[in-house]
Chains A and B, each alone.
Chain A
Amino acid sequence: MSSSRRAPVLISVIFLAVILPPVLTVLGAGFAGSTAGAWAGQVQSVLSRPSTWRSLRFSILQAAVSAAISVAVAIPGAYLMSHYRFRGRQIIQSLSLVPFVMPSLIVILAVIGFYGRAGLLGRLFGGDLTFVYSGVGIIIAHTMFNISVALRIIAGGWMQVDERYRWVSASLGERPFSRLLHLHLPLITPSLVSAFIIVFLYCFVSFGVVLVFGGVRYATLEVRIFQEMFTNLNLTAAGTLAALQLAVAGFLVSLIQYLTRKKGAGTVRSGRRFHARRWNELARPARTLAVLYWAAVGLFLFAPLLTVVVRAFTSNGRFSLISFRALFGGAVGTREVSEIMQAQLPDILMTSLGMATLSALVSSSLAYLCARSLRDHLPGWLDTVLTMPLAISGVTLSLGLRLLLFGIVPELVLIVMAQSIMAFPLVFRNMRGHLRALPTRYLETGRSLGARPLHLLWTVEVPVLWRGLVNTFAFAFAVSLADFTSVLTIGRGRIVTFPIAMYRLIGFQSFDVALALGVVYMVFVGLIFFVVDITSVQREEAGL
């Protein structure tokens, strides 16, 4: 058997060997140390609680609505990004990612600050927009997070479609609207479906957002698992709920895939270099619409984040640095801020940075190895397997790792493991996209010239793919930096990163200091992305 045929099997075996044990540990938690009968009784009692089914219903509902809105909003943007070259396209692409790499707590603060009680919108239009403290707030926050994900996946799919199809359609006299419906829509359906599934899963297992917004009424299964585990100390209930969540996620994803599968499996012909049209080839009314669209999306994504910045710098309606002074060694009321956060700011910085760097290194190197060995042949079933961490949920996975390895492996390492696994599906997708820049035959040429694989890695792969590698690393870094779930679940409060500190500040009702910390975080991530952008642009000018 050649290595290309062995790789998918090997990778899936290793992958499953890593993710299954922690999951099974959680599912079977509580079984040990009790009789089968008692265990079954407890499981039944969990499943017969109305609150369980209410949570399940709410999980599905909010995830479906968030995913549908994210995909629908992203479609026009994806069309513009994939078909037109315009000033600021690159900036839009980078900016749209900003909410996604923000810790969920910042986005929550932003949503509350903008839409909520005494929020900007309320003050502008009067009235009390309390709806935000319900499912609506959750959906707004989820949509803010996930528009960029949908935008990227759909635009990526659209760019794969051979431009000549459009020429043929035009030459046959098809009108643009009919073309959109009969040509584009069927061709991009796979990317629409995969965007929907990914956003759906993200929201279905969402933790931080629901933890803060939902309260008891709007708890998702994910939040309930956490509560059962750490508040009620009921392992059996946590395991049961995790199993229910996994089963439902698996069922829904399979159902979507089944309903939308292609009959007669025609593959979209691609391979021709993508040809972007100039902005001014767009008709004037369409151009106006497009500008309005970007403005609306921009407002939706950034107006709330902007209020975070504004509020961090104001006190009693005036510009003030009081929150920042408190953050850098001050106090709120009688308590030191570092006491509230249970860590010093420099330590928080070092811990966050160190773990995110490690996680990003692990997940992007693994993603590179996988993407490289699967580049010519990624079977559909393997794609599903590699997407699994999205459905498993951070709480379940982190819990499993903790139950399984606590005391054997240091907590920091466990968190790095959890973060790498959680980030893997998207990092892998990202990496696969970048790998297209270096077709296999370049590597074959190198080998025919006598270069061994490791030598090729340094002399050809890394230099040619540099930009993509840095890009993917930065993405993985930001995702891990923003991680709240596994640090909270595994670290149990002893390990303090940005999001945990923020969580504590919010819990102590010192919103302004939390906002100041949010601003520090944004500046931090912004700087990293800026440096990445500059280095990769320089490489690009060097002829790459």
Chain B
Amino acid sequence: MIELRGIRRDYGNFSLTADLQIDERELLTLFGESGSGKTTILRLIAGFERPDSGQIFVGGREVTRLPPERRQIGYVFQDYTLFPHLSVGQNIAYGLRVQKLPSEARMRRVRELLDLTELAGFEDRAVAMLSGGEQQRVALARALAPSPKALLLDEPFSAIDTERRGSLRRHLLNVQRTLQIPTVFVTHSRTEALYLSDRLVIMRDGAIVESGVPRDIYERPTTLYAARFTGSANTFTHEKLKRLPAHWLDGPVPAERAADQGAPIAVLRPEKFEFTNTGQSEPEGGCLEGQIRHVGYFGSYCLYIVETELGELEVQEEPGCSVGQTVRLCCPAGSIHLLG
């Protein structure tokens, strides 16, 4: 388990605060825009930076003042930082050598990791000869070889082709599930954040703004920032909400929010909307009518921009409609989520 208790780190023009717990088998993702402090949290846990105040615990032991080499935490950098003068096998064995493991045991462990990361047979290759994905797996194997108490990954997939990322993500999940090691993963890819995390922590301006299971954050975000960062969202002010069927909302608007003039207080994911045939009678509870302004084609679905009396709305629906067409928008009860 990793715990950050009352952490503060001040950089003059930027300051970070964090209270965070990462459970024994959890894969936690730090997610947010660049400069929000995600990597700083990793560096604090790893010991590359020291907090100004607060405490850090790893596996029940306080490590706040320990140098990185005594923390037993695996770290994988964005560009892998494989040692250029060592072969694949020597890179993986680096941490084991430091531990002064006898060569027999060391070789066994290296082979174990080569198998785990599907790199068997690569042992003697020069690291410069590897593809990006292979380098990434070597870096992972190297970090895991000394059996660390936690694993930290700083955007490990950002330098990999999009089509290769899928298999690497699955691979990472397999490894993490096999070893059951607390893992913190930094990314600004929405797909990675939603797909990989047991828990998602959203950061902004050096602070944690939201934390939870990806599905909860996606469907019931507390802040507009989290809503927008995890996916497309139609937003509504109280003014606009009043002109929509009341049962579309997932709850009554609290009085204090109702007073909030002009600020969005509710969100609706584009895929909640559905088109209903304009020829049919209006569904119970009413619907919105509008005209398609733009069609964005994404293969299995389209994103339609629909001009309505409430302004432009984003709708995710099956391909088939075209610009200029008049459509009716409906959504199931409770689809619009009230923030906060």
Q: Which residues of A contact B (CB under 8 A)?
A: 2, 439, 441-442, 444-453, 455, 459-460, 463-464, 542-544
The residue on B at minimum CB distance from A437 is B84
Is B48 located at the chain interface by the 8 A CB criterion? yes
A449-B128 contact given A441-B77, A459-B94, A544-B84, CB 8 Å threshold: no
**Chain B residues whose C-beta falls within 8 Å of the C-beta of A451 in the assembled complex:** 69, 94-95, 98
Interface contact B72-A450, CB-CB below 8 Å:
yes
**Chain A residues whose C-beta falls within 8 Å of the C-beta of B70 in the assembled complex:** 450
Among all A-B residue pairs, the 8 with the closest Cβ atoms: A449-B95, A447-B68, A448-B75, A450-B98, A463-B85, A447-B69, A445-B81, A451-B98
Interface contact B143-A449, CB-CB below 8 Å:
yes
Interface string of B61-81 (1 = CB under 8 A from A): 000000111111111010101
A450-B85 contact given A2-B49, A444-B46, A445-B77, CB 8 Å threshold: no
Q: How far is the CA of A442 from the CA of B71 in the complex (A)?
A: 17
Interface contact A464-B94, CB-CB below 8 Å:
no
Contacting A at CB under 8 A, from B273-306, are none
Is B126 located at the chain interface by the 8 A CB criterion? yes
**Chain B residues whose C-beta falls within 8 Å of the C-beta of A450 in the assembled complex:** 69-70, 72, 95, 98-99, 146
**Chain B residues whose C-beta falls within 8 Å of the C-beta of A446 in the assembled complex:** 83, 94
- For this complex, 10 residue pairs linking A to B, each with C-beta atoms less than 8 Å apart, are A2-B49, A444-B77, A446-B83, A446-B94, A447-B68, A448-B46, A450-B70, A450-B146, A464-B83, A543-B84
Q: How far is the CA of A452 from the CA of B70 in the complex (A)?
A: 8
- Partner of A452 from the list B69, B73, B75 (CB cut-off 8 Å) is B69
The residue on B at minimum CB distance from A444 is B48
**Chain B residues whose C-beta falls within 8 Å of the C-beta of A447 in the assembled complex:** 47-48, 67-69
**Chain A residues whose C-beta falls within 8 Å of the C-beta of B94 in the assembled complex:** 446, 449, 451, 459
Interface contact A464-B85, CB-CB below 8 Å:
yes
**Chain B residues whose C-beta falls within 8 Å of the C-beta of A444 in the assembled complex:** 46, 48, 68, 75, 77
Q: How far is the CA of A78 from the CA of B152 in the complex (A)?
A: 43
Interface contact B126-A442, CB-CB below 8 Å:
no
A449-B146 contact given A444-B46, A444-B75, CB 8 Å threshold: yes
Q: How far is the CA of A455 from the CA of B81 in the complex (A)?
A: 18
Q: How far is the CA of A2 from the CA of B50 in the complex (A)?
A: 7
Q: How far is the CA of A464 from the CA of B94 in the complex (A)?
A: 15
Interface string of B89-113 (1 = CB under 8 A from A): 0000011011100000000000000
Is B142 located at the chain interface by the 8 A CB criterion? yes
**Chain A residues whose C-beta falls within 8 Å of the C-beta of B49 in the assembled complex:** 2
A543-B85 contact given A447-B67, A448-B68, CB 8 Å threshold: yes
Interface contact B83-A544, CB-CB below 8 Å:
no
Interface string of B111-150 (1 = CB under 8 A from A): 0000000000000001010000000000000110110100
Contacts A441-B79, A448-B143 supplied; 13 other A-B pairs, CB < 8 Å: A2-B49, A442-B81, A445-B83, A446-B94, A448-B73, A448-B74, A448-B75, A449-B74, A449-B143, A449-B145, A449-B146, A452-B69, A460-B83
**Chain B residues whose C-beta falls within 8 Å of the C-beta of A455 in the assembled complex:** 98
Interface string of B143-165 (1 = CB under 8 A from A): 10110100010000000000000
A442-B83 contact given A448-B68, A450-B72, CB 8 Å threshold: yes
**Chain B residues whose C-beta falls within 8 Å of the C-beta of A453 in the assembled complex:** 69
**Chain A residues whose C-beta falls within 8 Å of the C-beta of B85 in the assembled complex:** 460, 463-464, 542-544
Q: How far is the CA of A13 from the CA of B99 in the complex (A)?
A: 37
Q: How far is the CA of A359 from the CA of B77 in the complex (A)?
A: 39
Q: How far is the CA of A441 from the CA of B67 in the complex (A)?
A: 15
Q: How far is the CA of A444 from the CA of B73 in the complex (A)?
A: 11
Q: How far is the CB of A245 from chain B (nearest CB, A)?
A: 39
The residue on B at minimum CB distance from A440 is B48
Interface contact A448-B71, CB-CB below 8 Å:
yes
Which of B46, B69, B97 has the largest count of A CB atoms less than 10 A from its CB?
B69
A543-B46 contact given A448-B74, A452-B69, CB 8 Å threshold: no
Q: How far is the CB of A140 from chain B (nearest CB, A)?
A: 44
**Chain B residues whose C-beta falls within 8 Å of the C-beta of A543 in the assembled complex:** 84-85, 126, 128
**Chain B residues whose C-beta falls within 8 Å of the C-beta of A2 in the assembled complex:** 49-50
Q: How far is the CA of A155 from the CA of B145 in the complex (A)?
A: 43
Q: How far is the CA of A46 from the CA of B95 in the complex (A)?
A: 66
Q: How far is the CB of A463 from chain B (nearest CB, A)?
A: 5
Q: How far is the CA of A53 from the CA of B48 in the complex (A)?
A: 55
Q: How far is the CA of A543 from the CA of B83 in the complex (A)?
A: 11
The residue on B at minimum CB distance from A456 is B69
Which of A447, A448, A463, A542 has the largest count of B CB atoms less than 10 A from its CB?
A448
Q: How far is the CB of A80 from chain B (nearest CB, A)?
A: 29
Q: How far is the CA of A542 from the CA of B87 in the complex (A)?
A: 11
The residue on A at minimum CB distance from B154 is A441
**Chain A residues whose C-beta falls within 8 Å of the C-beta of B46 in the assembled complex:** 444, 448
